[in-house]
A and B are shown apart, each in its own frame.
Chain A
Amino acid sequence: MMSNDFIQLIVFFVVLFALAIPLGLYMAKVFQGEKTFLDPIMGPLEAFIYRICGIDAQKEMNWWEYALSLLAFSFVGLFTLFILQLGQGYLPLNPQGFGGLKWDLAWNTAVSFTTNTNWQAYGGESTMSYLSQMAGLTVHNFVSAAAGIAVVVALIRGLSRHQAKTIGNFWADLTRTILWILLPISLVGGMLLVSQGVIQNLSPYLTVKTLQGANQTLAMGPVASQEAIKMLGTNGGGFMNANSAHPFENPTPFSNLVEMLLLLLIPVGLTFSFGKMLKDAKQGKVIFGAMLILLVLTLGTTYSAEIAGNPLVSKIGITGSSVMEGKEVRFGVVNSALWATITTATSCGAVNAMHDSLTPLGGLSPMLQMMLGEVVFGGVGSGLYAMLLFVILTVFIIGLMVGRTPEYVGKKIESFEMKMAILAVLIPSACILLGSALAVLITAGTSSILNPGPHGLSEMLYAFSSATGNNGSAFAGLNVNTVFYNIILSVCMLIGRFSPIVLVLAIAGSMAGKKITPAGAGTFQTTGGLFSGLLAGVVLIVGALTFFPALALGPIVEHLLMLAGKAF
C-alpha cells in the first residue's frame, strides 16, 4: 500500500514538471509580447477589448500608476460583486430561488473572491444562484488570478530593466494573462473534468426517489467551468460546500490528479518564466529549488502524520486507516495528504478532505505554510513575488555576513527595498497573531469554536492564517458566518492581499530605476544549491521565530496529548 503511495506521488511530480516547464517558457513569451500560436485567435479579441475599454496597451506605467490601476480594478470588482450578491434574488439564472445574501456575508465573500482568497463562510449549493456563481465568482477567479500574475510580471520587469522609469501596463498584463493563459487552459481542463463526471448544466436541482425509497435532492449547476479556473488560478472557492471532496466537483482519482496539476502548473511554471525573462535560467531554478525543498518537508510531515494515524481511534479496533474521518474512499490517505499540502503551499485553499479532521501534525504543516506567507510555490504570481521578498532578505543577511552591499541580479539592494520587504513580511504576520489574540479574548471569537481543547485554538489560528495568506481553506468546524468573523477576516484578507502588492510594486519601481552592474569577483552568487538552501532556511527561520509559540499551544500540544491518550 505504501509503495503504491510513492508511485502516485512520483507520477504526480513528474507529470507536473513536464507540463509546467514548457508552460513557464510560454508564459514568458506572453508577458513579453512575443509571438505565440494563439495570436490568430486572441490577437483580434485583445484589440477589441482595448478598443471598447479605451485602453492604450502601449502606454507604460510607473509603479504607482500600475498600483493605482490594480487597486481601482480590484475595488470596482469588489463593490459590483457585493451588490450582485445582495440582489441575486431579483436576478435571472436562479432556479432554486435563493434570496440575496446578508450584508456581512456578501461583503466577506466579495472581499474573499476579489483578493484571490476564496474564503467561504457560506455553503455554495445552498446559497448562491447560478448567476452569482458564473458572472460573479467565476469572473473573479479569472481576474484576481490575473492581477496576481500581473504584479509579479511587473516586479520581474523592475529587476531586469536598466535605469527605467516604468514597469509595464497593468491593463495589458491582466488582459493578456486571461486571454493567452487562463482561458485556454481552463477550457481544456474543464472539459477533461466533465469527461470524469464533473457536472456542467443550468438545470434546477433534481429530486429523486432513492433505491430505498427516500427523497434525495441533487444539487446541479455549471460546476466544471468554475472548477477548472478555481484550481488553475489558485482560487479554491468550491461551487459546492464540500469543495473538491464533493463527487460532482471531483468524481474520480483521475479528476483529482487533473485538479492537482492545474493547481500547481502556473506557480511552478512562473519560476521558469522568471529565469527566462531575466535571461538567466539559473535564477529561476534556484527559487524553484528552494520552494521544492520546503514542499518536500511539509509534504513529508503531513503524509507521515496521516499514515501514523490517530491512536485514539485505532484502539477501538479497526482495519485500514484510522483517519478516514473527513476523507473520501476514492482518494484515500495519500491523495488527501498530498492535496492538503499543495493547496496550502499555494494559496489555493480548495480541499478534497476536511482539514479540521486531520491529525494535529497533519494540520500543522498546512497552517505553517500559510503563516510562512504562501511562498512554497504560492498563489499564481503572489507566491513568486512573496518569495522574491524573502530573496531580498536573504541577500541582505548574506551581505551582512560577508560585509558587502547586498546585490541581486546586478542591482544593489538598499534601505528602501529592505524597508518595503520587511514591512511586507511583518504586516501579514501581525495580522494573523493579533487577529487570533483578539478572537481568543472575546466571546464573539470563542463561541464559534466546534472542537474543544487545543484544537479550538488551532481552528482560530487557521482561520486568521488562511484569510491573511489569501488561502481560503479552513478548519471548517469554526462557525465563521457571524458578523464578527465576516468583518475581521475580510480586513485580514484585504491587508494580506494589498499591503504586499503595493510594497512589491514600490520595490519594482525602485529596482527598475537602478543600474545593472555586472557581477564582480566579490559578488555573492544567487544561483546554485547553496542559495536555494539559504533561502529556504531564511523562510523557515522567520516563520518559526514568529509563529512557534502559537503553534506550540495549538497543534503541537494537541499532538502530544493525543499520544498520551487524552481527549477533550
Chain B
Amino acid sequence: MFKTMGRAFRLLLAMTLLTGIVYPLGVTGLAKVVFPKQSEGSLVYKDGQPIGSVLIGQNFSDPRYFYSRPSAAGKDGYDAASSSGSNLGPTNKAFLDSVAQRAEKVRTENELSANASVPGDLITASASGLDPHISPDAAQIQIARVAKARNLSVQQVQALVDQYTEGRQFGFLGEPRVNVLKINIALDSL
C-alpha cells in the first residue's frame, strides 16, 4: 500500500512537471514566437497606448458611437476581469421585463416607431458579457443616430457598416457580424 502511494506521488510529480510546467511554458514560448500579437490578446493601440482588445467588447453610451450588446459582466457591464452571462431563465419575469425595457430604449434612442421590431441580440446580454460583436441588423438600425450625432451623411456611415460587416468565416462558419470596437475606431478616424 505505501509502495503504491509512493509511486502515485512520484508519478503525479513527474506529470506535474511535464504537463503543468513544461507543456504550458513550451506553448507560451512557441506562441510568443509564432503568434506574438494573438498570444498577448490582440490589442489595439491609439497613440501608442493600448485601448482594448479587438476580441473584447467595450461599453459605449455616447450616441456618436455604435452601441454594444447589454452585458452582465461586472457591475457596469464589459468588466473583462469578471466575465459572466446573466443566467436569467426564459420564463423569468424580471428577465422579460428588462428585455422589454431595453427594446423601448433602443426604439427611443434610434427614433423608431413604437411598434418597430428591434434586433434580438441588441436587447439581450451575451454569454460572456464581453461579446465584441453585434449582428448586421443591430448595426443597421443605429446608422441614422450615429450619422446625426456626428453630422455625417447616412450614406457615409452606411458605407462604413458595409465595410465592417464580417461574413461567415470561410464562407460558412459562424454568423455574420460587426465588430463594435473596430467600427467605432473607424468612425473616429473619418
Contacts and interface: CB of A to CB of B under 8 A. Distances in A.
Interface in B107-149: 115-121, 123-135, 137
Contact of B90 (A73, A142, A310, A320): A310
A214 B59 contact: yes
In this complex, which of B34, B65, B119 has the most chain A Cβ atoms within 10 angstroms of its Cβ?
B119
B119 A319 contact: yes
A177 to B, nearest CB: 11
In this complex, which of A4, A202, A212, A476 has the most chain B Cβ atoms within 10 angstroms of its Cβ?
A212
B41 A320 contact: no
Contact of B28 (A11, A123, A200): A200
A8 B171 CA distance: 10
Chain A contact patch, size range: 35 or more
A549 interface: no
B51 interface: yes
A481 interface: no
A242 B41 contact: no
Interface string A313-357: 100111111111111111110011000000000000001111011
Contacts of A328: 126-128, 131, 133
B30 interface: yes
A138 B27 CA distance: 13
Contacts of A199: 38-41
Interface string A145-179: 00000000000000000000000000100110010
A541 interface: no
B89 A451 contact: yes
Nearest to A218: B80
Nearest to A202: B28
A194 B38 CA distance: 6
A530 interface: no
B177 A321 contact: no
A53 B5 CA distance: 11
B20 A138 contact: yes
A197 B132 CA distance: 13
A136 B103 CA distance: 45
A205 B95 CA distance: 32
A318 B135 CA distance: 13
B48 interface: no
A335 B174 contact: yes
Interface string B58-98: 11111001000100010000111111111111111101100
Given A356-B88, A477-B87, A134 B127 contact: no
A22 interface: no
Contacts of B81: 125-126, 205, 217-219
Interface residues of B, number: 104
Interface string B146-190: 000000000000000000000011101111010001001100100
B173 A253 contact: yes
In this complex, which of B18, B83, B124, B188 has the most chain A Cβ atoms within 10 angstroms of its Cβ?
B83
Contact of A245 (B21, B85, B99, B174): B85
Contacts of A205: 81
A69 interface: yes
B11 A183 contact: no
A203 B131 CA distance: 23
A333 to B, nearest CB: 8
Contacts of A214: 58-59
Given A69-B8, A216-B52, A326-B127, A357 B87 contact: yes
A381 interface: no
A141 B24 CA distance: 13
Nearest to B87: A477
Given A194-B35, A256-B174, A335-B174, A222 B28 contact: yes
Interface string A261-294: 0000000000000000000000000000000000
Interface of B: 1, 4-12, 14-16, 18-21, 23-24, 26-28, 30-32, 34-35, 38-43, 46, 49-53, 55-62, 65, 69, 73, 78-93, 95-96, 99-100, 103, 115-121, 123-135, 137, 168-170, 172-175, 177, 181, 184-185, 188
Given A211-B65, A320-B121, 9 more contacts: A72-B7, A206-B43, A217-B81, A245-B85, A316-B123, A329-B175, A360-B90, A452-B93, A476-B87
Q: 9 closest pairs, A vs B, by CB? A: A253-B174, A245-B127, A477-B87, A451-B89, A354-B85, A332-B175, A242-B83, A253-B173, A242-B128
Interface of A: 4, 7-8, 11, 49, 52-55, 68-69, 72-73, 76-77, 80, 123, 125-126, 134-136, 138-139, 141-143, 171, 174-175, 178, 183, 186-187, 190-191, 194-203, 205-206, 208-212, 214, 216-220, 222, 224-226, 229, 240-242, 245-248, 251-254, 256-257, 310, 312-313, 316-332, 335-336, 351-354, 356-360, 450-455, 458, 475-477, 558, 561-562, 566-568
6 contacts: A8-B173, A125-B81, A178-B18, A211-B188, A224-B31, A325-B90
